[in-house]
């Protein structure tokens, strides 16, 4: 029985699955459209929509909660930097968090939910996996030619 089992495992352990979803969420926020397998896209949708809802709130607590949906960034890397070296540039998770709160949240201010769209593309030739595009809704669909 599947009582109270909320998500698919995607063939990964829990830390690996969370890392996968964080990487996919980061790519989706930064690029606004990604191509992935259908089960991954279906698991990613509620993950990203919760982050966008937090972005719409816009307060400091929401920013700290939304940071858990992306990788931390440069944590622990400052020990490698010498005195005269500049610190490393912000990584993708930091960029995604700032883009979420500055651009993406403003676009969806009046929308009550449903920020993403999944478009099925068919089956991948190599392994037969069903492939889909997941994108933010406010984009105009481009031809896939």
The CATH number covering residue 43 comes to 3.90.1030.10
Containing structural domain, residue 115: 14-136
Instruction: Report the percent of the chain where pLDDT is more than 70.
Output: 82
Q: What is the mean pLDDT of the segment spanning 99-109?
A: 93
Establish if 113 belongs to a structural domain. Answer: yes
Give how far Cα 55 sits from Cα of 17, 34, 94, 111, Å.
23, 20, 14, 13
Q: Is the pLDDT of residue 130 over 90?
A: yes
| CA distance linking residue 67 with residue 74, whole number of Å | 13
pLDDT at 39: 96
Establish if 83 belongs to a structural domain. Answer: yes
Q: How confident is the model at residue 74 (pLDDT cuts 50, 70, 90)?
A: low
Establish if 4 belongs to a structural domain. Answer: no
pLDDT tens-place string over residues 16-35: 999 999 999 999 999 999 99
Establish if 7 belongs to a structural domain. Answer: no
Give how far Cα 10 sits from Cα of 21, 22, 48, 134, Å.
10, 14, 17, 17
Contact 101, 108 (CB under 8 A): no
Q: How many domains does the chain have?
A: 1
Q: Is the pLDDT of residue 133 over 90?
A: yes
């Amino acid at each position: 029985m599947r009582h109270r089992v909320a998500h698919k495992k995607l063939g990964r352990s829990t830390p690996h699955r969370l890392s996968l979803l964080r990487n996919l969420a980061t790519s989706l926020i930064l690029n606004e459209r990604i191509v992935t397998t259908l089960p991954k896209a279906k698991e990613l949708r509620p993950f990203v929509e919760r982050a966008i809802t937090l972005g719409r709130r816009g307060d400091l607590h929401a920013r700290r909660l939304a940071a858990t949906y992306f990788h931390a960034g440069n944590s622990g890397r400052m020990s490698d930097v010498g005195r005269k070296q500049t610190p490393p540039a912000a990584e993708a998770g930091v960029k995604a968090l700032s883009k979420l709160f500055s651009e993406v949240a403003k676009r969806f201010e009046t929308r009550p939910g449903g920020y993403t769209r999944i478009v099925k593309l068919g089956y991948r030739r190599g392994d037969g996996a069903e492939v889909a595009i997941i994108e933010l809704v406010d984009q105009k669909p481009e031809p896939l030619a």
